Structure 1
């Protein structure tokens, strides 16, 4: 999750490189497991959009899409979504 207590700029919120590293690491390990003979049916990115978390309200952002909580129609794709889309296409 990315912490957003209201002082995170939009460019910083969209540049979620840590999320890319996290998915890349998991997918690399998944590929090694497949190469070792494990049967894998799929991979699911747990949260595709920022959402309300009961324990932390709107202070943590989990998704690959940035959600403007005051105007949800003003959503933006994060860098991780662009990376994930290209990763899936190349596979």
Structure 2
């Protein structure tokens, strides 16, 4: 039986009290996604039928269980002025990765 695997939520949390500079330089998120995608590539080469991979999340957002204390996004959001958004290093990395 052939089963498709879809990774629907791969996420890395940062605590929300980081400085903007530290939040934007989210190398741990890059390492996490890079590691997971590398292992996923090995699984595909071993015959696993991977149908999709989704990183959580595009934007920092309100987490129902934790309010605004955790950040999961590849784009930083100023929670006091949500129009103020900046791409994190992980967003830049992920954009280059999927473009290849």
Unpaired runs of 5+ residues, structure 2, are 1-12
Indicate the RMSD between aligned Cα atoms, in angstroms: 0.8
Q: Which contiguous aligned blocks of 4+ residues in structure 1 show a shift greater than 3 angstroms?
A: none
Larger strand proportion of the pair: 2
Q: Match of 2:44?
A: 34
Q: Number of residues paired by the alignment? A: 88
Larger helix proportion of the pair: 1
Q: Match of 2:69?
A: 59
Q: Match of 1:4?
A: 16
Shift of 1:46: 2.1
Unpaired runs of 5+ residues, structure 1, are none
Q: Please give the per-residue CA displacement for 1:13-57, whole angstroms capped at 9, x wherever unaligned.
A: 100000001100110010000000111111111211111112211
Instruction: Calculate the TM-score normalised by the size of structure 1.
Output: 0.92
Separation of aligned partners in 1, 2:98 and 2:69: 29
Instruction: Calculate the TM-score normalised by the size of structure 2.
Output: 0.84
